[in-house]
Amino acid sequence: MLQVNSIKENYQTVLAGLEKRNFPEADSTLQKVLDIDQKRREMQTERDQLQAESNSISKQIGMLMKEGKKDEAEKVKSRTAEIKSLIKDLENRYDEFEQELTQLLYTIPNIPHESVPAGKSAEDNEIVLENGQIPSLAEDKMPHWDLIKKYDIIDFDLGAKISGAGFPVYKGKGARLQRALINFFLDEATAQGYNEVQPPIVVNEASGYATGQLPDKEGQMYEIAADGLFLIPTAEVPITNLYRDVIVSENDFPIKNVGFTPCFRREAGSWGAHVRGLNRLHQFDKVEIVQITHPEKSYEALEDMSNYVQSLLQKLELPYRVLRLCGGDMGFTSALTYDMEVYSAAQERWLEVSSVSNFETYQSNRLKLRFKGEDKKTTLAHTLNGSALALPRIVASILENNQTENGIRMPKVLVPYLGFDMID
């Protein structure tokens, strides 16, 4: 979340950033933050003054007792009891203001980086680059939801019987393709210096708040209410929370972790042909990369992460493009996001397969994730993450783009993992 001091010291910049995001009532919300903070500070000042008076009276009582003036000391003690009551009341009111301020800050998104374009929706995103040749398919080309039936590799009906819509069953070469992609992505990441971790796939409420998934304004998380737990929407949540309430050394940067997990999203309100088949699922597999860096190095790290994800798409022989998201299409916690989209030749449209984001201090402020430099001062670190990669739409594009009259050709880089080069 945003820091109050940053809002106070950079008010116009913060206001302009929220307006770029099309955040409603930005000015009044920021003014409310400053008003609550002012009241909180007044409570603190008054409490400190009373505490100083109490300390002074305690010394006075001690002196009177030494001088044998017990009656005078008892009279002074009555003021001490009054002060204690006043301090307790002030502390309770301070806590109320602190809670109100925190809850208000939770509703304010991150401030976009200066390079983020203005805009209201995906149509306003900026195309940074395009790479690869869009394949030319036969007239009888098939979308992946027909291909998976033809080759019996993914079964949505079985998944619906077991769990419900949006929970597919992968079978035979379809299951092996999933495993091959996961292993390929993990091997590539570890070769680039990422440390592999296998985190829990359920998190507590504190973890959800720390990375910004809570409060869940859009109702997209699956909640295990009886236990106060949530199924993770992405491995970003547990991996980043490894560093909650941690002070790391500046010498540890960059901290690079990678993890594979299933991901769970309710996808409330999603419908239509654009979410058919693998395009939108309630459960899917994803490999996630997470970095924690020095603030001066985070945008360099973002470019490195973007280039790394692009290298995966190149090795998979998939045509792709990179978008810089506009203010109105960015995630709540991000300062700058690149989306990678692959072209689906059968559906004849672009499919998002990765988001790579820099959160600057937005998450680390919630996490209380700091680093200590040579000057021994503690400073908030910057956090970043990226999908590297999410499997469903990668699988959809591989199936559709590589279909031939003899079967579906597999990318060469996957053949050693698969043990076959065709799905037929």
Q: Is 265 part of any known ligand binding site? A: yes
Residue listed under structure tokens 């985190």: 199
Cα 387 to Cα 312: distance, rounded to the nearest angstrom: 11
| Burial bucket for residue 136 (CB in 10 Å: 0-12, 13-18, 19+) | exposed
Q: Which two tokens stand for residue 244?
A: 């909650």
What lies within 8 Å, CB to CB, of 294 at 6+ separation is 250, 253, 254, 371, 381, 382
- CA quadruple 175, 180, 183, 188: dihedral sign: negative
Spell out a b/e string for 143-179, using b for 16 or more CB atoms within 10 Å of the CB, else e: bbbebbeebebbbbeebeeeeeebbbbbeebbebbbe
Does 355 show up as a binding residue in the annotation? yes
Answer yes or no: is 287 a known binding residue: no
| Cβ neighbours of 303 (radius 10 Å) | 12
In the block, tokens 């609550």 appear at 36
Report whether 385 belongs to an annotated binding site: yes
Cα separation of 293 and 296, whole Å?
8
Q: Was 303 annotated as part of a binding site?
A: no
288 carries a ligand binding annotation:
yes
Q: How far apart are CA 290 and CA 388, in angstroms?
A: 10
DSSP for 18-42 reads HHHTT-TTHHHHHHHHHHHHHHHHH
Q: How far is CA 348 from CA 276, 343, 400, in A?
A: 14, 7, 10
Please tell me what DSSP assigns to residue 333: T
Q: Is 321 annotated as a binding residue?
A: no
> Does the annotation list 300 as a binding residue?
no
Cis before 215 (ω within 30): yes
Q: What are 224's two structure tokens?
A: 């295990």
The one-letter code for the residue type at 177 is L
Binding residues for L-serine: 234, 265, 288, 385
Binding residues for ATP: 265-267, 352-355
Binding residues: 234, 265-267, 288, 352-355, 385
